[in-house]
Structure 1
């Protein structure tokens, strides 16, 4: 997974004619139609992947929703899906994680966004022809009681009970809680002992693409986020941690937990909160 979870611009250029590679544009429909898109891309707006009605933690859509969205976009389960947006990849990363959790084996984040691609590469305003499919999701099995091993059968999701267990070992060097939000949000309230790591720091905003791998490894290490530790990510509603999750997995981090409920669920449970600039 670590080598294939991010698609470089060069890789995509080399595979543009490959019928097994599908481009998924998750911007709003007006952007896709009015501004343009990558050639042969199909559009499924990000908001359609967010469930605002269920009682499940976070905003993951149900299985039937995912199957309907991907089937309506003509996606096959065996295809390589490359996802992009126009916000440095943060919305695309959330869709990527959603598809992985529902068992899509090969889904990748484009290393740049639409604006970055459009600077030097062809775009289109033509509709992409495709046939709808019957998409069958295969949700990964949850593993809340053990560390995720990121194989085909186990989900990286962790639950509130896992967070509670981690907080009971504040002096452990085996794990690190990572808050991917902005400084003001962090200082207003965060999980005790968490490290603040702004998800946008992984992006070269001038070039609108991910920073080089060596730079990213050094950046994470400077925050105490290293491959020997179990990394547990959270934000507010699991969008921003999706981007950091993808980057960590791209760098080869094996033990990365994804707290889907994040602070929205934690605060609803009256979980303990730390305030101030620590971390």
Structure 2
């Protein structure tokens, strides 16, 4: 799921590669990896995980990935400033649609620039396709699944300590999902913005490998980053709660802890 700067630099001219810059358009406009298209994934929050809500999310995502030009033979590489939450969301989304080849640039454009690799400022257009990926329900969770498995699943809260303990309020209710464990997603990264080693990460996520783990944050971006780390470590049963606190914290009938 990770590609290094040198590996990406060696395939920049490959026509079967799509490179998606997930940062803001201002950042993209100021300089991006040659050939990259701009895809601001932060615009696609989703806080409805009812059955109909998930169907609508699937349809919106298919339109988005068609616009991006994804076809089965394309290798898709997402990047942002570091090994961040936006590129992680892109990788998770394509994994959810069972795409065979999707990666994140480890270290993002920060590492790319540090190594004096090429940049360009001209925008690149999309080459749309008819995307037809098959959803994988094993890596997504809605609120009902969590509500019904509060005692069975291990719930990981990837937000800040303030959001977790309720002192930072970002929904009608503050606090966290009952029994959730707080591991801020920032702990996944080294100071240079690349992922920590598997050895370091295993000490942070010291759980049995067969545990069902559900990650969440505010909008399922930071949670997607933690999802990738857990998959990288070999955890098999990991889901992202798509609605995250943006949904849970605004449903007054759902339980919360502080």
Q: TM-score range by the shorter chain?
A: 0.7 to 0.9
Cα separation, 2, equivalents of 1:233 and 1:157: 10
Cα separation, 1, equivalents of 2:149 and 2:61: 32
Cα separation, 2, equivalents of 1:226 and 1:83: 30
In structure 1, the partner of 2:170 is none
- Report whether the alignment pairs 1:177 with 2:144: no
Contact persistence 2:46–2:219 (CA under 8 A): no
Q: Deviations over 1:102-136 (max 9, x none)?
A: 34332111111112211004132243666623232
In structure 2, the partner of 1:98 is 93
Relative to structure 1, is the Cα distance of residues 192 and 40 closer, same or farther in structure 2, using a 3 angstrom cutoff? same
Query: Which SS does the other structure have where 2:234 is aligned?
Result: coil
Relative to structure 1, is the Cα distance of residues 162 and 248 closer, same or farther in structure 2, using a 3 angstrom cutoff? same
Contact persistence 2:69–2:131 (CA under 8 A): no
In structure 1, the partner of 2:193 is 208
- Report whether the alignment pairs 1:7 with 2:17: no
In structure 1, the partner of 2:202 is 217
Cα separation, 2, equivalents of 1:33 and 1:211: 30
The Cα shift of 1:264 comes to 2.5
Query: Which SS does the other structure have where 1:209 is aligned?
Result: coil
Which of 24, 29, 32 does residue 28 from structure 1 map onto?
24
Structure 2 segments unaligned to the other structure (5+ residues)? 167-174
In structure 2, the partner of 1:153 is none
In structure 2, the partner of 1:162 is 145
Which of 120, 129, 139 does residue 125 from structure 1 map onto?
120
Contact persistence 1:77–1:135 (CA under 8 A): no
After superposition, the CA RMSD in angstroms is: 2.7
The Cα shift of 1:274 comes to 0.9
The Cα shift of 1:14 comes to 4.0
Relative to structure 1, is the Cα distance of residues 226 and 6 closer, same or farther in structure 2, using a 3 angstrom cutoff? farther
Which of 208, 219, 226 does residue 237 from structure 1 map onto?
219
Query: Which SS does the other structure have where 1:83 is aligned?
Result: strand
- Report whether the alignment pairs 1:248 with 2:199: no
Cα separation, 2, equivalents of 1:87 and 1:111: 7
Relative to structure 1, is the Cα distance of residues 182 and 24 closer, same or farther in structure 2, using a 3 angstrom cutoff? same
Query: Which SS does the other structure have where 1:132 is aligned?
Result: coil
The Cα shift of 1:203 comes to 0.4
Q: Deviations over 1:244-277 (max 9, x none)?
A: 00111112110102211222222315211111xx
Which of 15, 21, 30 does residue 19 from structure 1 map onto?
15
- Report whether the alignment pairs 1:44 with 2:39: yes
Query: Which SS does the other structure have where 2:27 is aligned?
Result: helix
Contact persistence 2:95–2:102 (CA under 8 A): yes
For this pair of structures, how many residues does the alignment match?
A: 247
Cα separation, 2, equivalents of 1:259 and 1:51: 10
Contact persistence 1:25–1:42 (CA under 8 A): yes
Structure 1 segments unaligned to the other structure (5+ residues)? 143-147, 149-155
In structure 1, the partner of 2:171 is none
In structure 2, the partner of 1:152 is none
In structure 2, the partner of 1:198 is 184
The Cα shift of 1:74 comes to 4.0
